[in-house]
Structure formats: structure tokens, C-alpha cells
Amino acid sequence: MSERPRLTVLSGPSGVGKSTVVAHMRKEHPEVWLSVSATTRKPRPGERHGVQYFFVTDEEMDKLIANGELLEWAEFAGNRYGTPRAAVLERLERGEPVLLEIDLQGARLVRESMPEAQLVFLAPPSWDELVRRLTGRGTEAADVIERRLAAARVELAAESEFDTTLVNTSVEDVARELLALMNVV
């Protein structure tokens, strides 16, 4: 009998390509369960409750936090986001591979509440490449870009807190390496 799967957490700086890697991986391996976060932000067009997010009110979020029902939570751009604990534990109990795609703050909180979790850092091929991705289409104001770059520097400095680093030179390669780390073949 193989050991119970560990929770795998994928994190890294904004703009590094986390969601692209996860989307590619799940297209090939839909059995990898990606935790759906709860959020207080309003749904964007096309988003459905329970699919992209669980959309909750501020009061509902307060309750989830107070009752310890979130593995981690954070505030970002005026909205709160959190990972429901019960669904994650349920899937792990059933032996399903579980992936969380969350920010640095969330990864640190998961490490505290579930020290056995496997933390994977997704790094850019280079600082210049990350700058290119973050400045992107040039539609954002210079101060917004500057804030993102400052945050990315802080996030990159946390790499040593993670168990493994994957460098995002190719979405296909990183997805394959992540699946191998999760023992999904």
C-alpha cells in the first residue's frame, strides 16, 4: 500500500506562471484535486460559485476564520481569500493528490498548520524575465508595476523556506516535475 499523499503547495512570485502550470497539469491529470478558495471578492464574468471560488460575504468569511475552518487566509487588494480545511483533509484521507496554488503568506500559514505539507517554489528563469512578465502589456501605471516588482523581490527572497524549487523555463516540463513530486504518473 502506498503512503497517503501529502498536501502539495505551489507558490512563487506574482507573474511567474503558477496558474498556467496548474491548468496545463490538470488538463493532462484531472485527478489532481486543486483546492477551491473562498473569497469575499465579487465574481467576475463567467466565474461560478464552487468552481473558480466559493464566493462568500464578509460575515461568512469572519465565521470561517473564527471557527478555524480555513487552513490559511490572506487579504489581497481589499478582499480576503482562504483555503477551506475540511475539503482538503477529506481528499487527502481518500488518498487523492491535493494541490494548493497560493501566495507566499498562505504557504507559510499552511507550513504552520500542516508541517508535513510539501512546499514547492516556482521560480522565474531570471529576474529580467519576471520583470518582462510583470510589466507585460504596458497597460498598468508605473506605480502599480513598481509595487509588483517590490513584492516579487520579497517573494523571491523566501525561496529557501520551500522544500523544492522548480524553475519555470517550460510549462510542460514544470507540470511534469510537479506531477512527479506529487507521485502522480
Question: Residues within the annotated binding site?
Answer: 12-19
> Cβ(121)–Cβ(108) under 8 Å?
no
Per the annotation, where are the binding residues for ATP?
12-19
Amino acid in the structure at residue 2 = S
> Cβ(178)–Cβ(10) under 8 Å?
yes
